[in-house]
Amino acid sequence: GQNIDQPTEMTATEGAIVQINCTYQTSGFNGLFWYQQHAGEAPTFLSYNVLDGLEEKGRFSSFLSRSKGYSYLLLKELQMKDSASYLCAVRGNQAGTALIFGKGTTLSVSS
């Protein structure tokens, strides 16, 4: 079966660093994606990993280990506007197929 796990909620303070973990078990792998979703809005794309290692993009970085079925999203220098839900999603066997989403991690950033 398909299973993507991530923590339900996390809290952090402004300026801090937070790591959101994601583990997956899918019947194929063709990339792992992280999206940010603010309440009432559609998800916006943050990062994409298809090979093992770290992808850095400004304050956000994402790491992938395919052998462990594991990824994390690292957010640095947290800002209040980073309070949102972070969705881990995996694309299955074939390129061009739909994403399978985890339930999302709600991050609350306080001052």
H/E element, 12? strand 9-13
* Residues 49-108 interacting with another protein (rule: CB under 8 A): 50, 87, 95-104
Residues in the interface with another protein (CB under 8 A) total 23
Nearer to another protein, 6 or 78 (CB): 6
User: Toward another protein, which CB reaches closer, 60 or 101?
Assistant: 101
In angstroms, the CA 111 to CA 96 distance is 41
DSSP state of 95: T
Interaction with another protein in 9-48: which residues (CB under 8 A)? 30-31, 33, 35, 40-45, 48
- Distance (Å) of CA 109 to CA 9, 52, 85: 11, 29, 11
Q: 88: which strand partners?
A: 34
Give contact residues for another protein (rule: CB under 8 A).
30-31, 33, 35, 40-45, 48, 50, 87, 95-104
